[in-house]
Structure formats: C-alpha cells, structure tokens
Structure 1
Amino acid sequence: MRPPPEALSLLREGCLDPESFKEFKLVKRTQLSHNVAKFRFALPTPNSVLGLPIGQHMSCRGKDNQGEDVIKPYTPTTLDSDIGYFDLVIKGRFKYQPGQVRVFGMLAGGTSIAPMFQVTRAILENPNDNTIVHLIYANVSYEDILLKAPEGWDGGVGFISKEMIQDQCPAPAPDIQILRCGPPPMNKAMAAHLDVLGYTPQMQFQF
C-alpha cells in the first residue's frame, strides 16, 4: 500500500512509503453486510501510526477471490489517534447475472463509464434480460464525454446532486441497486447522497 503522489507533501512520519508498496498483516475481518467487510491491518509496532492525511486515500494492492491482481484506492476509516493498526471497509467484487435486480441506477464520472457501459451493453444484447437502467454520467466538459452518441446536449449540467439522483434513479427498494464509479471525491459525495436518500448498503455497489 502506498499514498497517492498528491499526498506526499502532507505526510507526517508514518508507516507508508511513497515509492513502493509495503505489506501489512491482516489481523481481523468483520463482516458488515452480505458483500461489505471491515479489514483491520496491524502496523509494524503497537505505537506506530499510519501517517496518511485526513481525507486522502492510499493505493492498495492484493488478489481478489479469483486470484487476479487488483490495485484500488481506499481511504482508511481510522485516524492516527488509532495507534498500531488501521481499518479499511471494502465491498466485494461485482458479478452481473441477468435479472438479478429490477432496475439499476448508475452514477459514473469520466473514464469510470467503462464498467457501466459493459453492464448496460450486456443487458441490451440479451433479449431475455428486462433489467431497466438509469444512468447519470458526469464529465468536466462536453468534450470529455466518452462513448457519446449524437452531437449536441440539452440534458442536465453541474455536479450530481441529491435531487438529481432522486429524480433520475430508482427509489430505494429491495429489488434495485445503485452502481457508482468515479474519482474518490465523487464516490464519497455520491455515497453521502445515497445514504441521505435512504439507500441501504445492500442497495449500493462501488466499482
């Protein structure tokens, strides 16, 4: 695990190396929901601190349950006042099955449209899959929109708001799921909006 480059100048003395990944021992795993777990990692000594600035993320490398290498950014849920360990809350791998939900709400930003496009295309190309898709896709400018179709845009503009999600995505229900994928600040904002709107952890998945 290592901090992102933008955090280097802010790092206090801690256990992370900005130039290379370091190994930390997993000491406890707590299941929080059907596909979310909290992982506690031990730092080198009982008095060690992680040393990551508040609000920053670090790159984590490991293998998923299918043996594939994965590198993803995570923000610890602990602070440097938690001495000797740090916690990461991690959601399980997404595997799409036709008809697994009635409706998908999708929130994507920039290049993170890729997994949404793949799931949507799989639905559209399967004549037996009646899953409905609602997509909100955010970009800095019109020129940044990937995989766009016709020229011209008369849709919404601005940041994805709580009201926009409420208007465009399916309401909270046991048979819907909200998929989100974007830069860490966007993911954090979307998670906060979804929580306020009443979407449970089981109704959400972050790529």
Structure 2
Amino acid sequence: FFRYCAIFVMASRSLMCGAAALVGVASSSFGDSRQQHLEAKFFTGGKVQLEHAISLNHDTKLFRFKLPAGKEYNVPVSSCLSCELVYKGQRFRRHYTPVNPNGSKGYVDLLVKLYPGGMMTPLMWSMKPGDKMSFKYAEKDTWRPSKYDTVGMLAGGVGITPMLQIIREVVTNPYDRTKIKLLFINKTEDDIVLRHELDRLAMEYPETLEVIYLLTRPGPDWTGEKGPIDAEKIRRYMPSPNRPTKVYVCGPHGFYHTLCGIGNSNITYWTKCKSPQQPSVHTYDSQMNEDSLLGRMGYSLSQVCVF
C-alpha cells in the first residue's frame, strides 16, 4: 500500500511540475509575443525624415518628422527624444519632448526655439523636407500617479513641452488625483506657444490644472502676471516645500541659472574621436544648487526635477 502511495505522490509531482513548465512556457511565449508586438508597433529609435517645419513666431518652429510606415509615437511619461545631427564630422545631440500626444500614428512633432549661438538649433533650422535626423527615447523622470497631492511646474518658453506631456497624462487618467499648478514664463504675449491647448485643458479640467501666464516684457494691454520670476511669485503659485511635493523646471539657460543655479543640463556636445563607443563629452551639471533661488526657499534636491 505504502509503495503504491509513494508511486502516486511521485507521479502527481511530475504532473504538477510538467503543468507548471507548460504554464511558464505559455507565459513566456505570451510575453515574448507581446514585446514583439510593441516593438513592431512603436518606433523606438533610428533615423526619421523631416516632413515639414512651420513657423509659430519669430524664433520658434514646429518640426514634423515622419515615422516608418505602420509605426506609432508612444513613450512613458516622462520621456523625451535624444536627437542627433552630424555636421562636418561632429555629432550634436539635444533632448526634446514631442508635443504630439501618445498614440499619434506615423509622425512626431518637435517644438524648437532658435538660439543663434546654440550648437543644435541652427542646424535644425537649416533642415529641409526630406533631411534626416537620428533619435532614440530617453527617460527623464518616472511619473507616478497620485504620488503627490499637488505638483508645481515652472516653464520658460519652449520648456513647456515636458510639462504638457505630464499634464496630458494626469488629466486623461481618471485614477490620477494629482493637482498641477503651472507658472508659464515668456517675454511677450506673442511668445506664448501652445496657449490654445493649455487654455483648453485648463477649461476642461479646472479641478486638476491651473495655468498662470507671466510676461517679463508685457504690452500695455496685458492684465496677467508681470515682471521677472522671483520668490514672491513662487510662494504664491507653487506648492510649499514644507510638504511632500515636486517642482518641475524647464526653460532656457538663464532660467536654469536663476531658479536652480546651474546651466542647461540637457545639452551634450560630442566631438569627433577615434572610438565612437567612448566619445569625448562635455555636459553641464544637472543638479540643483542649494544656494539657488529654489534652494534658498527651502526646496530640497529631491523636490526639484530639472528637464
């Protein structure tokens, strides 16, 4: 009797192990199949072709790049594109956050401001339809729904692009209860890009999104906030550093210097060298200086995210 029981137990264990193995194989196959589907559907990097560029104002253009046939734009929040151009044997790279929403089929839109003394933007502005640029996805910060009750955003000029990506994610996710306060700084009213989209989102989701426009060179008819960004305006509109929160910062060189005490952390310059795997690199420090405006106001390094 005991002999037959032992045989039965051993047989049962063999059957269970075999079933588990089959389940594991099935799960693995499903996972591999899903991954292959995602890779087939979404474009994860490579060369893209410029379709057209549209001037939005005197120094800002919207560049539309064509994705390969059947591909979609879809990236995690918050991510950006690491874009690269080669000019006279030198490689130039800059991070841009697309302004088109996830799920866009066949294209990627980049909002680019011309900096005459810059390393990358003059090259982009010289591009013609059909010219190609390389890019790949780069993750900047991991967005976690409802991690904070309220987050703040300080955007200058085209620095609005990563903010828009997060805003769209929050307002379209019914399970994300985060409230957003955006202070958008520009020189003149004509410099405010994506204003129609921001106003639309603020009107549709008033409980989630508050948008404040600030002009440093306002016209006589401007009734909104005026003057330079300072501690008083940050206290008025941004969440307090005395509670769990996050403040996102993105803008031009002077913007980073004023708020965070650093240079533009997103520009990296590659020089031509013998080993492509180990290029010579010059990059700015990406950490907030504790003696900066935000640092002196009590915001810690963990509370500030620089795009």
TM-score range, shorter chain: 0.5 to 0.7
In structure 2, what is the Cα distance between the partners aligned to 1:155 and 1:131?
25
Matched, 1:93 2:113: no
Closer/same/farther in 2, CA of residues 148 and 196 from structure 1, 3 Å limit: same
Larger CA deviation: 93-102 vs 190-199 = 93-102
Matched, 1:113 2:163: no
- Show CA shifts across 1:7-59 (max 9, x none): xxxxxxxxxxx98359xxxxxxxxxxxxxxxxxxxxxxxxxxxxxxxxxx999
TM-score by length of 2: 0.38
User: How does 1:46-195 map onto structure 2 within 5 Å?
Assistant: 68=136, 93-149=140-196, 154-191=223-260, 192-195=292-295
TM-score by length of 1: 0.54
In structure 2, what is the Cα distance between the partners aligned to 1:171 and 1:184?
25
Report the AA paired with residue 300 of structure 2: T
In structure 1, what is the Cα distance between the partners aligned to 2:182 and 2:176?
17
Which secondary structure does the structure 1 equivalent of 2:165 belong to?
helix
* Number of residue pairs the alignment of both structures matches: 128
In structure 1, what is the Cα distance between the partners aligned to 2:238 and 2:140?
22
Pairwise CA distance, 1:143: 0.7
In structure 2, what is the Cα distance between the partners aligned to 1:135 and 1:166?
13
In structure 1, what is the Cα distance between the partners aligned to 2:229 and 2:181?
14
Pairwise CA distance, 1:153: 5.0
Matched, 1:196 2:296: yes
Report the AA paired with residue 306 of structure 2: Q
Pairwise CA distance, 1:146: 1.1
Report the AA paired with residue 127 of structure 1: P
In structure 2, what is the Cα distance between the partners aligned to 1:58 and 1:105?
30
Pairwise CA distance, 1:122: 1.0
- Show CA shifts across 1:59-85 (max 9, x none): 9xxxxxxx9476xxxxxxxxxxxxxxx
Pairwise CA distance, 1:154: 2.5
Which secondary structure does the structure 2 equivalent of 1:176 belong to?
coil
Match of 1:84 in 2: none
Match of 2:67 in 1: none
Runs ≥4 in structure 1, deviation > 2 angstroms?
A: 18-22, 67-70
Report the AA paired with residue 164 of structure 1: K
In structure 1, what is the Cα distance between the partners aligned to 2:194 and 2:136?
27
Q: Give unmatched runs, 5+ long, in structure 2.
A: 1-87, 93-117, 121-134, 200-220, 261-291
The higher radius of gyration belongs to 2
Report the AA paired with residue 161 of structure 2: A
Closer/same/farther in 2, CA of residues 19 and 155 from structure 1, 3 Å limit: farther
Pairwise CA distance, 1:121: 1.5
